[in-house]
Every structure is written in structure tokens, then in C-alpha cells.
Structure 1
Amino acid sequence: MSMFSSIAKFTTSPVSITNKQSTEFYVCVKYMGRLGSNLFQFASGYGIAASKGMKLVVGESDKVYQIFQIKDSKNILISTNKHECDNAIYRKEHKTHSYDKDIVDFKSDATYRVGRYLQSWKYFHNVSNELREILKFRSHIQTKANKLMENVLRKYNTSRENVTLIAVHVRRGDVVTLSLENVLSIATKEYFEKAFQYFRSYSSPIFVVCSNGMAWSKANIPKNYTVEFMDGNLPEEDLALMASCDHMISSVGSFSWWAGWFTNGTVTFYKWPVLEDSKRRHTFSSDFMDFFYPHWIGL
């Protein structure tokens, strides 16, 4: 059973698909933040456009276009200058990490810009299989990730079929400051210990660690496991590398979320991305499950 068929027992996405196709009007998004946020904006924009029988406008200068092999299709328009969005009507979400039914409550009778962050899987659940076909890394990025993985396998004199690859993302950097300011939480040493323990029984696991805080990772990642620290790569190369793994230990943030999505396997997440009295608690749904998939494992 695939990850997305298993979700059906938990919920049905509020966004449904129609065959009606608009030839005049479009859905637009404004890309904000870094790669993880951009992926949410693209995927949610695509899901909303598909639900309306419209096309999402993607610019040739957009980061997602430069990293992924996105092409013109029934629900995507590749645009040189995105002038199609110049007069778009703006519809703003109420919560950045929650599904907002009001933002998708419009007819395909005008061009709309939806935003801002759109960080809920519910916007694109019904087109997830399509997105997996659309979001293929460009060849130079995938080639780099393949070589990195080949080096890991060669080091242990093994093949891809004989091991279980567990991607591990350790988000540090700005999150350390934000946690001190009570804006976001940060995944703890204890969380990673629990997550590594969870995967201990998997067949011949190799833990592949990517991080923007590698010194902390090397000092705090649990010992007595087969661990490879992947240092010095671009974010998109790290993402492609983690995407090629079987399962995922995520930490916090949208980049970590998407690494888990790409693996399409078992995913653990740090259970409390914000504390109850955090400045951003109101941006999430009450149970956080508008952001995290119901079948992902909170630790």
C-alpha cells in the first residue's frame, strides 16, 4: 500500500479535482522563504489550480523551476516574465501552517494569487501522485546525489538492495536563535536518540545525515550506529540525496518536511514544532495535523 492510499483511512482532502479547464485565468503564488517554503507554495498552488481546472503560473526564474524538471502541462504554464499574474486578485491565508478552506473558495472566473506560505499537505493531497512525476530533480542535481550515495555504498562494500537507507535531517542555524526567542522549537538530542532507536530493527540500516549544523550533529547524533555525515553540499543536493533514501528522520521546518515527503517511506518528526505559548502556535492547527501527515510518527 502506498503512503497516499494509506492516508485515505485518516482523511479526505478538502481539495477535489475537476475536469473543467479555464483557458483565460490562472493561479499564481509569490515565492517566499527558501527551498522548503517554495516547495509548499508550488505544490499548494498546483493543487489549488488543478482543483479549479486552471493552470499554475511558474516563472523560468523561480527556484523550483531551476531545481526541478517542471514543464508545461494541463495545470502548469511556464512563463518567461509571469505577466499573466500582473492583475491577479490576492487571496491571503489566515494561518501559514494550516489548511484554510476560505482561500480556495473561488471560481475560475479570474486570475488569483494565493498565499502566503500555504504549508499544509491538504492543499495538494489529491494531486500528490502527479506531483511526484512533476518534481523530478534536474539531471545535474540528481547525478550529484547519485554519486554521493554510490560513495556511501562503496565505503561499506554493499549494494542498494542490501541496506536500508535512513535519511536524517538536523535543522540548526537560524532555528537555534528562534527557539531562544520562543518562536520555534528545535529538535533535541533526545529526539534523535528515540528516532534512531525506532529504526534500529530495520534491515542493515545506514543513517545518512544532512545538516546546516554539522558540528552539533557529529557531537550529538547517537553512537553505535552506521552513520554517514554528508557535509558541504548545496541544499538541493542534500534534498535529492535524502529523497533517494528509504525512510526519514526529520527535525523541524519545511525543508525537513519535504525531505520526508520525497522518501515516501516511514517518517518521524519532532512532535512539538512550537510550544503552546510560542509566538507561532496560532499558525498551526490545534493538533498540528494540517501540517504533518496523520501517518507520520511524532516522537
Structure 2
Amino acid sequence: CRQQYPIYLKGEPSAIFVNSFPKNNGALCPVFKGGFGNHIFQFAYTFGIAKSKNMNILVNEKVNVSIVFKLTVDVRNDSSDCNGFMTRIEKFTAKYDDNLLNFNPEKSFRVQNALQSWKCLHIRRGDMVNMGDNSFNVASLEYLTSAVNYFKDRYQNIIFIVASNGMSWAQRNMPSNISVEFIQHSAVADMVTLATCNHTMAYFGWIGL
């Protein structure tokens, strides 16, 4: 993992960021909320919208994605221009909202909310456990056991790597008949570690294999 770490940090920009956007159209500013994983979703979603509409992206140099990745969008030390942009907010979480793309690209907007892929499986505990409105469900222990067995049945010599902000729960409930390592470093280091794994699954945090 240490050898690959610079790939994900300040090195040569990934090919996905090597696009240059025309300046004659408007700009989009992602509104970053939540943790580092959320920020990546929010930037990626905004990047996709901007590319489809030939727009620029404006990002502050102090936000996580600017610090961790070498972006080739419009990174500024003063992004206050974004404060004057109109705001477009997705209606649903993890569900495709086509209305989010229904705007004039000659104008500039702030793009807000989770902006997570509607095709992405994201299961977590943490703050979800104590929500009283039943907006979200957390996965059962049976689901966790079934997910672990899924990979055990298909691969040999597996080491499960668990990253979570609910580590005590994870340590109590991960099956005991497997090889498992629990990591709890910075959000960036954890994500880099999991990104080097062959497979990942989401549960109370992220599990890499």
C-alpha cells in the first residue's frame, strides 16, 4: 500500500481529470458535505455534469479533494464567487434525479447534497442506527455473515480489511473464523488501503479483501 499511496495523492493527475473545460459557458461548484468519501462522490458527480454540458468546475484549494488529488479543474484560493451562484439540490439520496441536469449551461450553479451514484450499494451503521424516522435501514448480522461467506466460497487465502468509524461494533461482530485486519487511520489512508484491495463491500464502514 505504501508504494501505491502517491498514485492517489499528489502525483500525476489521473486521466479522468485531464480534461480542459471551455470558459464561455458557466461554472459549477460542488457543495462539499460529510466525510471524505462523500466529497469524492460530490466532486465526481459535478465533474460528470460539467463534462456533459461543457462547463467549468470551480473548487477551493483548501477542500479535501483539492488537497488529496491533483485536479486540473479551476482550483482557487478564493472560491467566494460560488456564493453568488444559484443552487441546484437533488431531490433524492442514491436515486437518479434527471431534473438535476435540467438547466442552462450558460449560467453558473452550486450543486448540492449527497450526489451518490444511484447504482452504488452503500450500507452503514454509525449515524443511521439512531435515526428515529426510519428513513434508512441498517443491514442485519445475517447480511454480514452472508456477505463474508460469499467471498469465502469464491476465493482462497482471503484477508478481510475493515475500516469503520464504529470499530468496536465491527470487532465484536465480524465472523471469527476468518483472517481479518482492522484499520483506523485517517480517512484518506483508509480509503487508499481499501482501494488497493481486490474487492470491496460496504456495511458498517468499508471492508476490503
TM-score normalised by L of structure 2: 0.78
Equivalenced residue count is 188
Shift of 1:242: 0.9
Q: Partner residue of 1:70? A: 70
Deviation at 1:203, TM superposition (A): 2.8
- Counterpart amino acid of 2:45? S
**Runs of 4+ residues over 6 Å off in structure 1:** none
Q: Say whether the 8 Å CA contact 1:22–1:108 is kept in structure 2.
A: no
One-letter amino acid of the counterpart of residue 33, structure 1: G
Q: How much does 1:212 deviate?
A: 1.7
Tell me, in whole angstroms, the C-alpha distance in 1 between the residues paired with 2:161 and 2:107: 46
d(CA) in 1 for partners of 2:125, 2:92: 24
Q: Does 1:37 align with 2:38?
A: yes
1:156-199 per-residue CA deviation (whole Å, 9 max, x = no partner) reads xxxxxxxxxxxxx9844322212x55232222221111011101
Distance 1:172 1:94 in 2: 23
Match for residue 109 of structure 2? 112
1:190 and 2:151 aligned: no
1:227 aligned residue (169, 173, 180): 180
Cα pair distance change 1:22/1:101, threshold 3 Å: farther
SS of aligned partner of 2:200: strand
Deviations along 1:141-170, one digit per CA (max 9) or x if unpaired, are xxxxxxxxxxxxxxxxxxxxxxxxxxxx98
* Aligned residue in 1 for 2:9: none
Is contact 1:171–1:212 with CA below 8 Å preserved after alignment? Answer: no
Asked whether the 8 Å contact 1:172–1:212 carries over to 2, the reply is no
- Tell me the residue number matched to 2:13: none
Structure 1 equivalent of residue 168 of structure 2 = 215
Q: Output the CA distance in 1 between the equivalents of 2:170 and 2:21.
A: 50
Q: Per the alignment, in what secondary structure is the counterpart of residue 39 of structure 2?
A: helix
1:142-161 matches, cutoff 5 A: none
Q: Which residue of 1 aligns with 2:24?
A: 23
Q: Identify the residue that residue 245 of structure 1 maps to in structure 2.
A: 197
Q: Distance in 2 between matches of 1:20 and 1:228?
A: 43
Deviation at 1:94, TM superposition (A): 1.8
Shift in Å, 1:24: 5.1
Q: TM-score, with normalisation over the residues of structure 1?
A: 0.56
Alignment match, 1:199: 151
1:84 to 81, 84, 87: 81
Quote the residue 2:14 is aligned against.
none
Root-mean-square deviation (Å): 2.8
Contact between 2:96 and 2:117, CA under 8 Å: does it hold in 1? yes
Once residues 170 and 108 of structure 1 are traced to their aligned partners in structure 2, the CA distance between those partners, rounded to angstroms, is 34
The separation in 2 between residues aligned to 1:20 and 1:41, in whole angstroms, is 18
Tell me by how many angstroms 1:54 deviates. 1.1
Per the TM alignment, residue 20 of structure 1 is displaced from its structure 2 partner at its CA by 7.9
Distance 1:181 1:54 in 2: 38
**Does the CA-based 8 Å contact 1:170-1:210 persist in structure 2?**
no
Code of the residue aligned with 2:151 in structure 1: it is F
- Structure 2 SS opposite 1:84: helix
In structure 2, give the amino acid aligned to 1:92: I
**2: CA distance, partners of 1:222 / 1:108:** 51
Higher helix residue share: 1
Map of 1:57 onto structure 2: 58
Work out the CA distance in 1 between the residues paired with 2:102 and 2:25. 19
Unaligned runs of 5+ in 2: 1-19
